[in-house]
Amino acid sequence: MSNLKRFKRSAPIMQLSLKSTPLATIAVLMVFCYLSNQLVAQNGLREIPDTAHDAQLKAFAPMPGASINLFAHEPAVANPVHMNWDRRGRLWVVSSRLYPQIKPGQTETDKIVILEDCDGDGVAEKQTVFADNLHIPTAVLPIDGGAYVANSVEVLFLRDTDGDDIADTREVVLSGFGTEDTHHLLHTFRMGPTGMVWMNQSIYIHSHLETPYGIRRLLGGGMWHFRKDTQRAEVFMKGLINPWGHAFDDWGQSFMTDGAGGEGINFVFPRSVFATSPGASRILHGLNPGQPKHCGLEILSGRHLPDSLQGVFAAPDFRGSRINLFRLTDSGSGYISTQIQDLVASKHRAFRPVDIKMGPDGAIYIADWYNPIIQHGEVDFRDPRRDHENGRIWRLTFDRRKLVEKPDLPSMSDEALVEALNAPEGWTRHLATAELRMRKPEAMQAALAAATPPDGADVELFELRRAWANLATNQVDSKQLQSLLASKNHKARAGALRVIYYETERFPEAFEIASKAVTDPHPHVRLWAVSVLAQLNHAKTVHAALKALEGVDAKDEFLDFAVWSICREHAQRWESAAKAGNPFDSLDQLLFAVRAVNRPIGLATIMAALKQKKLSSDAQIQTVTDLISKVGSAAELNEIFEYALLPGTPVSHQRKILSALVSAGRLRKLKPQGDRSRIQRFLDSSDPNLFATAAVLAGQWGVPESQELLEQAFLNYESDPARANAALNGLVAQAGKPAGQFFDRIMNDGNAPYSLRTLATVGRVRITPAFGAKQAIRVLKDAPSSDAAKSVYAAILANKIARNSLIKSLQDQQLPSPIALAGIQLASNSAVRSNELIAALRAAGQIKPMKAALTKTEMESMMQRIAKQGDPHRGESIYRRAELRCVACHAIGGVGGAVGPDLVSIGSSAPVDYLIDSMLQPSVKIKEGYHTTIISTFDGELIAGAVAREDANEIVIRDAEARERRISKDDIDEREIGKISLMPTGLTEKLREDEFVDLIRFLSELGKEGEFKTQNNRFIRSWQFLQPHDRIRDEIGHYGDVIFAEDDPTYEWTEVFTKVSGDLPFSESPNLVGRGRNRHGAARTFIETSKAGNVRLKIRGKLKDLSLILNSTELPLPKGGDATEVTLKLERAGRHKLTLAGLKQWGLDGVSVELLDDASVVTVAK
């Protein structure tokens, strides 16, 4: 053992003298350093919050009835990252001063501290440094007689063998975890109900583990579990960006939170895959899209807490300096999550709650990382504003409720310990499991076998806990699990399956059990049955799993995913049988399985069924056509083509088939066998969709007879631009000489309408990019306005060859300034920005370069102006301007576009200088998960955006306008992670300086305690405004406001979101001109209910001028006042239209509508 102790050596290379230097001296030195060096940082320093404990205490706003006290603080605890309790009721905290990066010469001195409240006064008076020789440790779990510690690349097990609470042995338990980013390191350790260690890693981490059972790799984010007894380490789920929270509910189901994903609570199960998992062709989503990002997760329980908090999920929002609460209800195989009030919020900007755990006394403990700066991607590693000294553990109690007596688990008899497994406090149950693992397994097993449920206990839950405890002693009791599988409560049945899932090798009957459970009445149980099947080495696992889909809601995404996943993972077990016929029970099952693997298997069976019209629903046709377009042969393409040509085939089927044929041609260069000229039939179609796809097919297939029809439609541009554009696509697809000559003739014809000339130019550029771009200059010179030139520029920008040709051809050319400027603007906003093209256009248009970055002095004065003069309210209206496109790309609290990061708490997480920089130069700092992927094809085409999904054959890119584009991997020349943000530059050029100041001020307030923090009230935030319409002036007097609720097909509605406050700003709505001076505004939204019944709304605003219409019935509102409650009596489940209208001229701003009922009853439809 003595050799092992050497790890505690202090390794004095360049010993830092921090310990002996008074803190004040260091602070003065630091201030001095950047007074002289860094003006920008100095600015930020002024914002550094007061580090006094009182300052933080005063800034807390806990929920009513709760109080907060300081449990522990610096210097014992500095920047706490993670914490867990031991069975003696002591809190183990891991903290890192080295974060984010060790400096050459620094020793590894990061710590684990044990905090102990010996006298029960809620303050940790005893602090012991258990270890002080760690390298950016990110998790600690004190069980099994020592502590598991995440130490960058390794999981260590540290143990104290001589009773002084100082680690003296150090063993590497697992190694091979990546360190590509130190806030992504292995983290979030938690012991599960069966005594395993659960561990998470984040997006950039790539881990490679040798285990006694084989190599295990996890590339990207995900979660591991590890059983010490068997030394088995396995991946449980994959994906999520920063999965910094994981908790088990009462029934042992796993839920995770994400520090960057923003979908609130995530329900995870074996083999589930979430956002950003590399190579994922399908992902699942969290239960609360658009939520703030979270670090940590705990499920509240115990007698100290009020009833309203029992079973509630608590997730710290470290950016918004608050702790969010969620309540979950069952829904299908998964759950619905509703956000409720916050547990606590703080105005103190350095309060960074990163972990939350229930304590032994029934109170809630919160780890406060304490830092004004978070993250280390955007803000420099060595930024002096980083706090490396402070850290706090807060304790939240309820004033009028008794604390729980701290259980003394180590002194309990085995029998008493088994009773503790059923305590009302999750803490006690959890640590009793840790304690029983320290006892003799045989004695514990005997005590477990003899236990009876306490009076009034849920017997099924008691049995499930007994099964967990058995497994925690490394025993499985097959008979007991069999009886659990017969429980009334579906959660108990699912729980039993989960125990089997971990240990399938010890259950010879696992296949029989799972294949029975796939038809369980409850989809949640089916999900676990499929998960068990996925573990098994049995030939019929997929046959069994497919039965799980029968009779359940087709929209049950979790179950659908699980079955899809096993069809792929166990493909070898059914594919050869499917070559000979349908090995499954039904055609739908075969279709599902084949679709999942996406390979040409069983197509003969499927084609025969299509011919015999056994596949007739739109959904079936969609599946078949999609499948054939991806994997079918020329013969099969012909078969679906012929089906489209059959008399009586519905238009909806024809549309699907033609677009499948287009995809096959584009992505796989595959055409149907047989006579392709039959496509002309669809060129006569009056259905615009059919014409458009047929035009492209006629081009792709080179059907010469179609040329004339396409040219006619093209020339008819003025009367039917959509059809002309479709014809353009067809002619481009032909890519032949006749089409090229046709385009040349029009683009060079000075007498042709200019719109037609640009359309022809676009065609020319698309067929022959280099030649087309060169010819385009002449057309650009003739442009009557800058807008008219845009489509030509867009076509050139989308192709590398065209772009380079334009750069070259512009050398000795001049363009009118406005025309060149239009090109510069488009080029600057393109994700694949070319500085060379911008320079060439500048030269050609004689335009001076624009200023983008600020000098340090300018930044200084800008930050002062923002603080002194910035008006966040004016800023919000500027943010909402359509031309700035903020709302189109960014959401605030889930409301708005999804292209860029949600800004819900940007003000509380990002310093002002960062906001200014990001606005002026978006590409300097790019949020993780928002890097652009740039694909260039062999044809020179450039496609930039986020990778939506990909499989072996193709990749789907979502661009800045949220359009998806499929690209065949065979066509890809280069694929790179772009260094340019999708956010366009030059947006701010449209602003005056005072407007810029207001806008930044608004952003800097987002998420801070105050008016610009998104409230948890369920405001309806998505609406549509009615655009001006002729009939209103004439008919409003006759029919009244109900005309706004009519389904008039000529009405035009545009999307609008409420302000951060939840207010729908009628001042922004278009004026609907009524009689005389009356100016109306009308907005509508849709709500969806899962059942008939009453839905209560709270309406705030100037009621006098407002009317409310449900579907087509006006509901009476009070004639005055500014708030009222309304009950909607919904006679059926489904979608309902809600219209709000009112007179604007006397002020109608600030109308809000809030749902007062549970989310499971009603949701806002899109």
Partner 1 sequence: MLLLLSPTLIGGAANAQAVLQSDDRIAIVGSTFVERARLYGHLETNLQLAAGPDVTNLQFRNLGWSGDTVFGDARSYFGPPREGRNRLDKVISELRPTVLVLCYGTAPAISDRQAWTGEPTAKLMTDSGLDATQKSFAQGYQSLVDRAIKAAGGSIRQLVFIAPPPFESLGPPLPSQSSNNRRLAAIRDTIRQLAEKNKGHFVDLFHTLGGDDFRDEPPEKPLTHNGIHHTEAGYQIIANELAKGLGLKRSASIELDSKPVDELRDLVIEKNRLYFNRWRPSNETYLFLFRAHEQGNNAAEIPQFDPLIAEQEKKIEVARQRIFESQPNQ
Task: Verify binding: residue 539, partner 1, rule CB under 8 A.
Answer: no
Pairing of strands 137-141, 126-134: unpaired
For 41, 45, 249, the CA distances from 27, given in Å and listed in that order, are 14, 12, 45
The continuous run of DSSP H or E covering 741 comes out as helix 737-747
Give the 3-state secondary structure of 52-96.
CHHHHHHHEEECCCEEEEEEEECCCCCCEEEEEECCCCCEEEEEC
**Judged by CB under 8 A, does residue 1146 bind partner 1?**
no
- Contact string (CB under 8 A) for partner 1, positions 793-832, x = contact: ----------------------------------------
Residues 347 to 386: which contact partner 1 by CB under 8 A?
376-378, 380-382
Q: Where does this chain touch partner 1 (CB under 8 A) — which range of 11-19, 418-426, 623-631, 1004-1012?
A: 11-19
User: CA–CA separation, 699 vs 734, rounded Å?
Assistant: 4
Query: Among residues 273 and 591, whose Cβ is nearest to partner 1?
Result: 273
Cα–Cα dist 958/1080, whole Å:
38
Query: What 3 state SS string does 567-625 have?
Result: HHHCHHHCHHHHHHCCCCCCHHHHHHHHHHHCCCCCHHHHHHHHHCCCCCCHHHHHHHH
Cα 577 from Cα 585, distance rounded (Å):
13
Secondary structure element (H or E) that encloses residue 1115, with its range: strand 1113-1115
921-939 burial, b at 16+ Cβ within 10 Å, e below that, comes to ebbeebbbeebbbbbbbee
Strands 266-268, 126-134: pairing is unpaired
Nearer to partner 1, 138 or 272 (CB): 138
1075 is an interface residue for partner 1 by CB under 8 A: no
Rule CB under 8 A: choose which of 182, 504, 758, 1069 binds partner 1: 182
Q: Is 936 in the site for partner 1 (CB under 8 A)?
A: no
3-state secondary structure of 364: strand
Q: What is the 3-state secondary structure of 219-275?
A: ECCEEEEEECCCCEEEEEEECCCCCCEEEECCCCCEEEECCCCCCCCEEECCCCEEC
Least distance in Å: CB of 235 to partner 1? 13
Closer residue to partner 1 in complex, CB, 910/1095: 910
Closer by beta carbon to partner 1, 10 or else 1112: 10
Provide the minimum distance between the beta carbon of 87 and partner 1 in the complex, in angstroms, as a whole number: 22
210 binding partner 1? (CB under 8 A): yes
1085 binds partner 1 (CB under 8 A): no
Query: H-helix or E-strand containing 326?
Result: strand 322-331
Assess 440 for contact with partner 1 (CB under 8 A): no
Residue 222 touches partner 1, criterion: CB under 8 A: no
**Could you tell me which stretch among 96-104, 269-277, 827-835, 840-848 binds partner 1 (CB under 8 A)?**
96-104
Q: Is 926 in the site for partner 1 (CB under 8 A)?
A: yes
Is 230 or 1078 the residue whose CB approaches partner 1 more closely? 230
User: Is residue 102 close enough to count as binding partner 1 by CB under 8 A?
Assistant: yes
Residue whose CB is less far from partner 1, 763 or 945: 945
In this chain, which of 50, 165, 171, 684 binds partner 1, going by CB under 8 A? 171
Task: Tell me: cis bond preceding 104? Omega within 30 of 0 counts.
Answer: no
The answer to whether residue 1077 forms part of the interface with partner 1 (CB under 8 A) is no
Among 678, 931, 965, 969, binds partner 1 (CB under 8 A): 931
For residue 975, what are the β-bridge partners? Answer: 935
The angle at the Cα of 274, spanning 272 to 280, to the nearest 5 degrees, equals 90
- When asked if residue 217 is in the footprint of partner 1 (CB under 8 A), the reply is yes
- CB of residue 692 to partner 1, shortest distance in Å: 38
Cβ closest to partner 1, residue 235 vs residue 765: 235
Other CB atoms within a 10 A radius of the CB of residue 1161 amount to 21
Establish if 168 lies at the interface with partner 1 (CB under 8 A): no
d(CA 532, CA 495): 12
Interaction between residue 924 and partner 1 (CB under 8 A): yes
Closer residue to partner 1 in complex, CB, 137/875: 137
Cβ proximity to partner 1: between 31 and 977 the closer is 977
Task: Report 271-310 residues binding partner 1 (CB under 8 A).
Answer: 278
Distance of closest approach, residue 1148 Cβ to partner 1, in angstroms: 46
Work out which of 79, 95, 96, 152 binds partner 1, going by CB under 8 A: 152
Q: Which is nearer to partner 1, 210 or 1158 (CB)?
A: 210
Helix (H, G, I), strand (E, B) or coil at 1023: strand
Beta bridge partners of 141: 148
Q: ω before 100 within 30° of 0 (cis)?
A: yes
Q: Could you say which of 66, 209, 340, 767 contacts partner 1 (CB under 8 A)?
A: 209
For partner 1, the closer of residues 377 and 1040 by Cβ is: 377
**Which tokens hold the place of 93?**
């905290």
Binding of partner 1 by 834 (CB under 8 A): no
Least Å distance, CB 143 to partner 1, is 17
At residue 314, the 3 state secondary structure works out as: strand
Q: Which residue is associated with the tokens 């940790």?
A: 124
Binder among 516, 669, 745, 979 for partner 1 (CB under 8 A): 979
* Of 853 and 977, CB closest to partner 1: 977
Q: Which residues bind partner 1 (CB under 8 A)?
A: 3-4, 6, 9, 11, 13-14, 100-105, 108, 136, 152-153, 171-172, 175-176, 178-182, 185, 204, 206-215, 217, 229-231, 278, 376-378, 380-382, 474, 924-926, 928, 931, 977, 979
